[in-house]
Amino acid sequence: MIYFHTILDAPGVAGANNFLSIFNPAGSGKAVVFLTAEVRPYAAAATSVATSITAFRTTAASGGTLIAASDIHRFVTYWPDPVAVVRTGNPSVTTVGIPINAFPPPVSSGAGVGSAGTSAAPGVGAFTCLPGEGLVSTTSSGDTDQRWDITLTWAEF
């Protein structure tokens, strides 16, 4: 079954921020396979902070705003709720290793569109999170005039 979650118009912050975390809980008995990531940044006003949004693998996630499993989108409406736990609003995460992907920020002299990016896994099973693993979209610094639209799509087996 395939699921996705989107955050829209999420404002940047001056410090570090975890925008979106998707975590496969220990004991779920399933694999979470990420299929696509889409990031569309824009500037609400002048912004010059050139820090990309990056994706890291995680081994823990807590806090932030927990999205109810029933509110997570699925490609077929009668599919069951996902096992993956989705959090927004700067959840606490434990990252592993170096970034696995990055998308450039909006840098602008005024309000305007930044560069949009899409990343697709090269094949099913290409980026898999086993129970106790997840993914976070994060910035190490930013600007309150930056805005981020982020969509992650995954399958559960």
What is the value of pTM for the model shown? Answer: 0.91
Both tokens of 142, joined, read: 């930013």
The answer for residues whose C-beta is within 8 angstroms of residue 77's C-beta and 6 or more apart is none
CB count within 10 Å of CB 130 equals 11
pLDDT digit string (tens) for 107-123?
888 777 666 666 665 55
Residue 108 DSSP label: B
157 near 3, Cβ under 8 Å?
no
pLDDT digit string (tens) for 76-117?
999 999 999 999 999 999 999 999 989 988 888 877 766 666
Euclidean distance between CA atoms 75 and 61, whole angstroms: 25
Euclidean distance between CA atoms 143 and 13, whole angstroms: 5
